[in-house]
């Protein structure tokens, strides 16, 4: 039920940071918990000790001040399906490769892909 963004308006102003790219949504101008946590996780060693943070990069728009609604929603919807599809495809190739004399090289190739895909899509930072 989301409105479909038209091509003439590729970006929407980020409501979270009011297009500043910096989050100061908490009282007294501090950055909100979500953005502060994301920044801390990126710069763990430097910032893990700081509690009240100001001016951290907006976690919604990554500091751009605008969000690209099409890409944004596309990524959120397609990514898991894409990863599952790649894994399923790799497993399918593996199944076919059982008859092949190149089974071992195909196995190595497929497991590498599966590992990379799962690591990239499921093992990385989960911002939600
Ligand atoms: Zn923002
Ligand atoms: Zn924030």
Number of H helices, E strands in the chain: 4, 4
Residues in the chain: 128
- Determine, yes or no, domain membership for 2: no
At residue 45, the pLDDT reads 53
**From the CB of residue 27, how many other CB atoms can be counted at a distance below 10 Å?**
6
What's the 69 CA to ligand 2 centre distance in angstroms? 18
Domain boundary among 26, 41, 67: 67
On the CB side of 24, CA atoms within 13 Å amount to 9
Ligand nearest to the Cα of 21, by number = 1
State the pLDDT confidence band at 125, using cuts at 50, 70 and 90.
low
CA of 27 to the centre of ligand 1 (A): 17
Same domain as 50, residue 26: yes
Strand, coil or helix: 32: coil
Distance between start and end Cα atoms, the chain: 21
pLDDT reading at 119 higher than 60: yes
pLDDT for 114 beyond 60: yes
Radius of gyration of the chain from Cα atoms? 21
Q: What is the pTM of this model?
A: 0.43
Q: What's the gap in Å between 43 CA and the centre of ligand 1?
A: 19
Domain count within the chain: 2
Q: Is the pLDDT of residue 1 over 70?
A: no
For the segment 41-69, what is each residue's pLDDT rounded down to a tens digit?
776 655 555 567 888 899 988 899 988 76
Joined together, the tokens standing for residue 76 give 């959120």
Q: Say if residue 72's pLDDT is above 80.
A: no
Identify whether residues 87 and 48 lie together within a single domain: no
58 neighbors 12 (Cβ within 8 angstroms): no
66 alpha carbon, closest ligand: 1
Q: Which of 124, 101, 97 is nearest to 111 (CA)?
A: 97
pLDDT at 75: 65
Range of the domain at 100: 69-128
Give pLDDT, residue 21.
93
Are 78 and 51 within one domain? no
């Amino acid at each position: 039920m989301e409105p479909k963004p038209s091509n003439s308006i590729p970006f929407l102003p980020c409501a979270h940071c009011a297009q500043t790219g910096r989050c100061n949504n908490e009282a007294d101008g501090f950055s909100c918990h979500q953005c502060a946590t994301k920044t801390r996780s990126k710069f763990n060693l430097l910032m893990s000790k700081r509690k009240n943070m100001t001016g951290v990069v907006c976690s919604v728009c990554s500091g751009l001040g605008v969000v690209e609604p099409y890409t944004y929603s596309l990524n959120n919807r397609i990514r898991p399906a894409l990863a599952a599809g790649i894994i399923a495809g790799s497993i399918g190739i593996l199944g076919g490769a059982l008859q092949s004399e190149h089974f071992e090289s195909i196995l190595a190739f497929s497991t590498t892909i599966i590992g990379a895909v799962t690591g990239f899509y499921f093992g990385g930072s989960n911002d939600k």
